[in-house]
Chains A and B, each alone.
Chain A
């Protein structure tokens, strides 16, 4: 048998072996859809907070999201690094209407300010508002990036 022929035979065998190996390879691990809780972060690309916990059950994930949102409301100024257009449908006009409905005086733009200082208003008036008024403002922020249930794959 020539060297060339041997080589060919060898190649064929390898190819056959490869095929056999592929057929016998371990089954792909099963993947399943699971739920997590994340908050969108303003960024050039779609970015979310790191997931803390992965849930099998969507309603358990929703309960966790509710807990996180309650905490977020307790420790955060909703207007920090944020503007009405990004927080509420209808922007400033809609937010002013919410304030008026709650009998709160919304901030106005001062001469030396580039824009209305909503963040400063919240800080100055935090203790002047009732819990219900603060909650109502948060509830009105229908475009705010709250924690939400998202899906992912678990392998």
Chain B
């Protein structure tokens, strides 16, 4: 049971898909849900960890052994052999393609042995449980940075410009709506280009193939999606500035603030 005034919070660690295709972890974490007991929180963590493992090659989570395990490569090999798992052999260049080995062999291992591999890869964890004091929540208005890449506008995959924090969600939403309306006035010129592109569209092209604003990477990162998890068709793509979010409201914890 949590100490009085505390709770067990399930958090998602900050992994994202790097442009080279692998997964990369940065600092930071996102609160998902909280529980009165550690056991409940840990059960949910285990469930989520198990789910995500079905979609992830752990050896794609960093380019070298130190991203995966506290064991160096010789010790990792020994550990696996001690547990009845044959590790991959090194190639002619002396390097081992662990990701390829997992892709080919990992699924053939029994579920117990798969679990053992994950146990050795103790740095590849996606969720964590922390006991934390119960905190109030505030609402931050954040400006999203859209950058032109010579073809369309792409939203930065994370962060932005922090405008202000509100105690009330309604106030934050109100301010966010006003800022979005202002931004849409400023960005009106983009719609003219979009209309020109729409005229050039071939019959077999979806309207989303020509979207002028693309925030799919941002949405994927926000939701902690892996490369195998997809967004809905057209989600995060905008043809007209009327719906483009230039500002958004995010929840933030308040510490020492009544």
Chain A residues within 8 Å of B, Cβ to Cβ: 29, 34, 36, 38-39, 41, 43-57, 60, 68-69, 71-72, 75-76, 80, 123-124, 126-127, 147, 150, 152-155
User: Could you give 22 example pairs across A and B, Cβ below 8 Å?
Assistant: A29-B171, A38-B159, A41-B156, A43-B145, A44-B145, A45-B161, A48-B159, A49-B158, A49-B159, A50-B159, A50-B160, A50-B250, A54-B253, A56-B255, A57-B255, A75-B27, A152-B140, A152-B164, A153-B164, A154-B166, A154-B167, A155-B166
Q: Which residues of B contact A124 (CB under 8 A)?
A: 64
The answer on a CB contact under 8 Å between B25 and A75 is yes
Q: How near does chain A come to B242, taking the closest CB pair, in angstroms?
A: 23
Q: How far is the CB of A46 from chain B (nearest CB, A)?
A: 6
**In the assembled complex, B162 has its CB within 8 A of some CB on chain A:** yes
B84 within 8 A of A: no
Which residues on the A side are within 8 Å of B63 (C-beta)? Answer: 123
Cβ contacts B62-88/A at 8 Å (1 or 0 each): 011111000011000000000000000
- Produce 1/0 per residue, B4-44, CB < 8 A to A: 00000000000000000000111111100000000000000
Shortest Cβ distance from A128 into B: residue: B72
**Residues of chain A lying within 8 A (CB to CB) of residue B164:** 152-155
Closest CB in chain B relative to A65 CB, distance in Å: 10
Which residue of B has the minimal Cβ distance to A61? B255
A69→B257 CA distance, assembly (Å): 24
Residue of B nearest to A127 (CB): B72
Residues of A within 8 A of B29 (CB): 52
Q: If A29-B171, A55-B256, A127-B72 touch, does A50 touch B142 (CB 8 Å cutoff)?
A: yes
In contact, A76 and B162 (Cβ under 8 angstroms): no
A56–B256 touching, CB < 8 Å: yes
Q: 9 shortest A-B CB distances, which residue pairs?
A: A56-B256, A123-B64, A72-B27, A126-B66, A127-B72, A53-B253, A49-B159, A75-B25, A154-B165
Residues of B within 8 A of A75 (CB): 25-27, 67, 123
A69, B161: Cβ atoms closer than 8 Å? no
Q: For residue A154, which residues in chain B have a CB less than 8 angstroms away from its CB?
A: 138, 164-167, 254, 257
Distance A43 CA – B160 CA, assembled complex (angstroms) = 10
Known pairs A53-B253, A57-B255; list 12 more (Cβ under 8 Å). A36-B252, A43-B156, A45-B145, A47-B161, A53-B135, A68-B27, A69-B27, A75-B26, A127-B65, A150-B162, A152-B164, A154-B166
Alpha-carbon gap, A75 to B147, bound state (A): 28
Q: How near does chain B come to A148, taking the closest CB pair, in angstroms? A: 12
**A interface footprint on B222-258 (CB within 8 Å = 1, 0 otherwise):** 0000000000000000000000000000101111110
Q: Is the CB of A48 within 8 A of B162?
A: yes
CB pair A153–B165 under 8 Å, yes or no, is yes
Chain B contacts for A50, CB-based, 8 A: 28, 140, 142, 158-160, 250
Task: Name the residue on B nearest A67 (C-beta).
Answer: B27
Which of B27, B28, B66, B73 neighbours the largest number of chain A CB atoms within 10 Å of its CB? B27
Q: How far is the CA of A80 from the CA of B64 in the complex (A)?
A: 13
Q: Which residues of A contact B140 (CB under 8 A)?
A: 50-51, 54, 152
Interface residues of B in 103-159 (CB under 8 A from A): 123, 135, 138, 140, 142, 145, 147, 156, 158-159
